[in-house]
A and B are shown apart, each in its own frame.
Chain A
Amino acid sequence: MVAPQPLRVVRCGGSKLSGARAAFSADAKYLLCASGDYVKVYSTATEKCVHILQGHTNLVTGIQLNPQNHMQLYSCSLDGTIKLWDFTDGILIKVCKYFVLSQLFMDSRVVHYWFQLVSVKLPKTPDQEVEAKELSLILDDIGQWPKCTAFGREGEYVASVRGLHLLVYFFKKKKINRFSLSATSKKGANNYFTCVACHPKEDCIASGHKDGKIRLWRNFNHKREYTFSTLHWHHDVVMDLAFSVEGTSLLSGGVESVLVQWRDGSDYKKEFLPRLGSTIEHISASPDGTFYCTSHTENKIIIIHSSLSVSAVIQGLVKGSDVKTGLVVDPRTKALVLNGKPGHLQFYCLQTDKQLYNLDIVQQEYIHQIGLNQVDLVKAAFSAQGNWLATVEQREEKEVELELQMKLWNYDEQTQSFTLNTRINMPHEDHVTALCFRDTDELEDGTPTLVTAGNDGRFKVWVLVNDSDSEKPSMGWSCDFVGSYHNYPATNCCFSEDGSLLAVSFEETVTVWNSDTWDLICTFCHPPGRIQNLCFGRLSCSKYLLGTTDCGFLCCWNLLSCALEWSAQLNVMVLQPDPLSENIAAVSRLLEGSDLFVFKPNEPRPFCIQRNVCRERVQCAVFIPRDVPDSIGSEKHQWLSRSQLYFLTETQDLLTFSTKSAEERLTPSSRQLAVEESLPMTPFSLLLGKHRHQQQSKENADLDTAVVQSHLAQGSPAVKELLHTPAHVLPSASFLCSIFINSVLISKENKSAGEVVDVVEMDSEKAEDESDEDLELTEMEQDINPTEFLGEITEIKLSKSQEKQLRKIRRMDYSWVAAL
């Protein structure tokens, strides 16, 4: 790797977990859910991700267990393939490609919102990649979402809804029944269908509607004499419906984020599980009836026990509609902090891609109702050591009435979380535009100081004061100083690194204040344009103050000479200094695409330019210090060695830079298989493994040492695969024998072994999938966004050399323990 790797923009923070209905494995031990281009396998007991099934090159739109073999899983994706997986081991078994389908995609794109339900006959060829050509159209013009279609009892019929129509197609009779509802009624009902579910044992279809009603349809094989009953509890759209396995209860969920369980289809026997967090998008029930799971808009899956008690929560990075707080780093945990659930701050660990916790800031009951003016969390800032957190929340009503509240949180060492210290109502008369803490070292015990800037033309200095009386000692924040400059709205504030200077920008002017006496020291003005970003240089460049204007200038002032040092014409959106070095990252926006410039304030020439990092506008960026400085080969990207730059685009994608190539990044996460590797590597297992190995090799050594050694070295992948492929997919031993022997023989073409095994696997599937022609259906979504291509990652195996190394490591240690 001598040649410098190009800097690549990498997505992080995981994809949406709630894109499609999740599925349980037959024994309810695993929960499978589609997440972006992957299918993730979670353990229901530990909430941990066990496997990631990688292979699709576009959004996975649906997953379904193979009804013939419950260890297998079908997944369909926008890339036009259906894949069959063994999810316990995470192996791809089969790929079906639909070139015809992609043709259909084209058609469906021409006619907007035109979706067809087609039946796909899965071909029974042994190849791993097959093309499905037998397609038959079942229903035309169906709802876009998978939850608008459901299979009836034993696959006899399929029900689908769109608009005001319910279509039922009977496979045997090949007939379609169409039921329609009137658009609105006098009572203001909104009868549009939103979802449908079919009773697993009886002929009963449940449909959800936009006004919150649920209708249970019976007798629908007659065109005229059908009946329906209505269940009504939801006050808003019914988002999803699901029947329990036996069909005794119906689950429904919607915007209210309450899971409702209707017993026996009766309006009176209902149970609730309230306050699930956010809108329920999908509901599914486990085949053994022990669990339900709900997928939520806030990127969360809740596994619920059938007694309606929450059993586990799988939480991804909450991607709200708008990250108002920007990206903030918690200095204590180095976690990324941003808006999470409404009224919450989420602490997200980027190293492990896991949400650490949610901090409830607003502390009010959240009312799930569309069109309600909710309290927004708009600003958050940490003090340098992470002892204090300041948050600002606002609620705007009719643009005139503004409710503002600033809260200051103290980190409690005992409970390891933040506790509310001071609540300040209306810190400013108008919106708070910026807030920052003064960075003071622990050694010089300066009082913690916070500065807020507001649109009301003032900036306020808040200090921690001791207002303890004889009863109880208490510390609280109170206003110390109010500054203004010609009543211009204050737009930004920023402390210098040592905390001695405060820069506040008022429209076009930057003012610099002494933070001891709060005297105005000097002003800088760069006439055209209002100041948008402001920051001080750090370390050796601490004499510089940088500002960007909205008319596309980046200015650098020298604080010693009080003069403009240099300026550049650059339409900077985001200006972010690295806390550990002098580097400053600026993201500029041209007509199309955002560019990244990294520079030091003492020289106007950037040392790293990265063109077109993303197409959208970059909203905010942050440098996150690395735990261990990364060794980066190329000089050019040395700025990434100590801290990593993350940025958030308009479309709420969290991106970062990586110097590693795609393969390097993927290898650690895409462990190929197998039972052996998924065993926990405890010292005991190592010891035992070693011991066993020794015994084996001793026995083998009696026979023929040389052959065995070579066998171990060369034929191992094939043998390993043979040994670890689940027995139920293995063909007969007689069939395997020749291949096995083949692999044991010393041959020059090593690759052949693996291929042969693949063929074997494919052949083994012959027995099944006779009747699953109607089981795999794809809804063709029209908005395909072929932005990301992850390359062809069909099967990545550990290379032979790596395997050798692994083996070496295993042999090396613990012999002394055995000797004992």
Chain B
Amino acid sequence: MANYKPVVVQSFPKLGEKITQDTLYWKSYKTPVQIKEFGAVNKIDFSPIPPHNYAVTASSRIHIYGRYSLEPIKTFSRFKDAAYCATYRDDGKLLVAGSEEGVIRLFDIHGRAALRQYDGHTKAVHVVDFLTDKYRIVSGADDYTSKLWDIPSATEIVSYSEHMDYVRCGCTSKLNTDLFVTGSYDHTVKIFDVRTEKSVMTVEHGQPVESVLLFPSGGLLVSAGGRYVKVWDILKGGQLLVSLKNHHKTVTCLCLSSSGQRLLSGSLDRHVKVYSTASYKVVHSFDYAASILSLALAPEDETIVVGMTNGVLNVKNRKREESKERFPKKKRPGYRTFVKGRNYMPKQEDFFVSKPVRSHLRKYDRLLKSFQVTKALDVVLEARNRTPEITVAVMQELNRRGTLQNALAGRDETQLSVLLAFLIRYVVEPRFAPMLIKVAEMIIGK
């Protein structure tokens, strides 16, 4: 006749974010490594060549870290005051950094002292970058100017003073050797062509611009400032494509994933948000302990490094793909050796008689099937409380059968304490509350 029907365990829909490919991708990092720096970390830059060391600019030092080292491999500390924006050249051999005193220094990765010094800015230089032709440097400073330098001769080629406030961010085009972009606290982002005297394009961001980013294609420009991240279409003459307002404090840094499919933004609200560049929707979000000043992704997204205002550098490495076959399976005779006629191939005229499928019951179901109510309750209470929904479902089943009182009765101190511990822990959960309150009433009533 009809089979025993197992206890229905109520499943509740999981609230919160759904599991998507993105969450899986961005969650597959190891637990972060925290490195304490001397001051707020204002720039992190990965070397473009393997083994992809990264330069961290904090206070008056530039530390170079290897991928897995917690100690700096190398330190550049020839700065009298704060250093800013240590950036690698495309070949990974040179490093340039601005400084509070207005001097730009060029280092060899392997050297210790500066190869060149570029004097000319009167105030702190917050942004420096190499142009793509490798022989020129762009800089932006608090004296409202941005300058172009020739590396070998250490001379100023051109100076633009179009911004009305501090120039705090900028970047160079990867496609065009003559294009660069600067963002300023005067709420504008300007695009310069070094062949011309003036800026070629200006876009109004609306807030002091903290970070700018050019897409690898060069067609899209991203600017961050205030709570907004804005995406501009350069090819359409600087038209606003989308304005993202997902942070509730100033956005300080921007970064693209290596594939260019995802845009990351870090903010003083201690969050890093990941946007899809197709839909500009937030697909994932990271939480950090302090306000974020800088953010960098290693090539192939192998490492996320985040620098914070409290001087902590947070490094997350991607989990290695665990090889499933780490433990070789025990050699056992195959299943088929135990079943007679298992490997018999049915012939055309054979009539196949299928065996009834045996359903395997859980232990509590087996006990409930034989009406051993106390034991069934014991079994589900023992299960280390990892599955409270099963425990409550069994309690509900017992209540439906009218035997809950019997199952609760006759318990000694230890058994009762297990039960009470369960009740105390889960009675506050709304999905279990009605049932557990009833159980508690029964226990107290005795």
Contact = CB atoms under 8 A, between A and B. Distances in A.
Contact of A275 (B1, B8, B20, B397): B1
A47 to B, nearest CB: 15
Question: Which of B3, B10, B20, B401 counts the most A-chain CB atoms under 10 A from its CB?
Answer: B401
A592 interface: no
A365 interface: yes
A469 B20 CA distance: 7
Question: Which of B4, B7, B402 counts the most A-chain CB atoms under 10 A from its CB?
Answer: B402
B5 interface: yes
A104 interface: no
Nearest to B22: A470
B1 A471 contact: no
Contact of A276 (B1, B21, B402): B1
B401 A367 contact: yes
Interface string A362-383: 0111010100110100000000
B195 interface: no
B18 interface: yes
A277 interface: yes
Given A373-B400, A395-B400, A469 B19 contact: yes
Contacts of A277: 1-2
A372 B403 CA distance: 10
A363 B8 contact: yes
Contacts of A471: 19
A460 B365 CA distance: 36
Given A364-B8, A373-B400, A275 B2 contact: yes
A401 B435 CA distance: 11
Nearest to A423: B10
B368 interface: yes
- Place the interface of chain B in its size category: 20 to 34
Question: Which of A275, A364, A369, A423 counts the most B-chain CB atoms under 10 A from its CB?
Answer: A364
Dominant secondary structure of chain A at its interface with chain B:
loop
Contacts of A385: none
A274 interface: yes
- Place the interface of chain A in its size category: 20 to 34
Contacts of A360: 5
Interface in A228-280: 273-277
A274 B400 contact: no
A795 B369 CA distance: 53
A401 B20 CA distance: 40
B5 A365 contact: yes
A601 to B, nearest CB: 44
Nearest to A313: B1
Interface string B368-404: 1100000000000000000000000000010011100
A276 B2 CA distance: 7
B106 to A, nearest CB: 48
B4 A365 contact: yes
Interface in B163-214: none
Question: Which of B1, B3, B21, B369 counts the most A-chain CB atoms under 10 A from its CB?
Answer: B1
B8 A372 contact: no
B1 A274 contact: yes
B8 A373 contact: no
Contact of B20 (A273, A274, A373, A470): A470
Interface string B1-30: 111111110100000001111000000000
A425 interface: yes
Interface of A: 273-277, 302, 310, 360, 363-365, 367, 369, 372-373, 375, 395, 401, 423, 425, 469-471
Given A372-B401, A425-B10, A471-B19, 9 more contacts: A365-B5, A365-B7, A365-B368, A367-B402, A369-B401, A372-B402, A373-B400, A375-B400, A469-B19
Nearest 5 A-B pairs (CB), nearest first? A365-B5, A275-B1, A469-B18, A275-B2, A367-B401
Interface of B: 1-8, 10, 18-21, 368-369, 397, 400-402, 434
27 contacts: A273-B1, A275-B2, A277-B2, A302-B1, A360-B5, A363-B5, A363-B8, A364-B8, A365-B5, A365-B7, A365-B397, A367-B400, A369-B401, A369-B402, A372-B400, A372-B401, A373-B400, A373-B402, A375-B400, A395-B400, A425-B10, A469-B18, A469-B19, A469-B20, A470-B20, A470-B21, A471-B19
